[in-house]
Homo-oligomer: A and B are copies of this chain.
Amino acid sequence: MLHNQRDIELHLPTAASSPAIILCRPQMGENIGSTARAMLNFQLKDLRIVAPRDGWPNERAEATASGALENMPPVKVFETLEDAISDLNFTIATSARRRDMVKPVYNPANAMEELLERASKAQRIGIVFGAERTGLTNDELSLCQALMMFPTNPEFASLNLAQSVLLSAYEWDKCANNKNYNSHSAPDLDMNDSTPSLQSEVTTFIERLENDLEDRRFFRTPEMKPTMMVNIRNIFTRSDVTDQEIRTLHGILSALRGNKTAK
């Protein structure tokens, strides 16, 4: 397990100093439930909602939370955003578009670095999300210290509410628990500049092989066949076979079939 310089400098925060997620005037219970699930997927547990349209608790939220609400502290409900963030030191507001305000604007990764740095200094932090249709009002935005924008498709920019919470939670976890995201080193298979074959060519070969193996009674019992076919397919998909190799394999099968005929 690697600790990079950043981890050491920042004294990784405990769960208590993870950001609170604050939903302003959420309209759909489904989105509140999906938000809770997305938060718990990445270890965030402090969910606050301001003036939910349909009140709280909410059955639709429970349905889409998939058990998340029972596995985190009770959701806190507030009447105003001022109340919801009164115990926090630093909050970042989310927006799908630039606003006519002088605020620092972060992308998600930068925002989480800023939040993590503050959390490491024992500041209490939060991320604020607006209502589904309208986003945050200028009043609400003016209560937050900074703005975070997701670099979405300019022609289709609006993220679903729970989706933008998910991206925030994911980037937070990535930033705070860096080690989880660097444990893999890419496999080093030298392809010698050849192209992996199309899947249809692999499928054709494997079907032919399966038929030939059936002919030869390779599958000792019908019960064993599915597992054996999975193992066989894995050999060829894992190894990224090239066009040339597929031709070679067909040649091998033809040769073996020839053997059988010759017997």
Contact = CB atoms under 8 A, between A and B. Distances in A.
A58 interface: no
A145 B114 contact: no
A173 B113 CA distance: 20
Interface in A57-74: 66-68, 71
A143 B177 CA distance: 32
A237 B159 CA distance: 26
A153 B41 contact: yes
A91 interface: yes
Nearest to A113: B186
Contact of A234 (B87, B101, B177, B230): B101
A102 B189 CA distance: 14
Nearest to A193: B121
Interface string A139-152: 10111111000111
Interface of A: 34, 37-38, 40-43, 66-68, 71, 82, 85-91, 101-110, 113-114, 121, 123, 138-139, 141-146, 150-153, 155-160, 162-163, 166-167, 170, 173, 177, 180-184, 186-187, 195-200, 203, 226, 229-231, 233-234, 237-238, 240
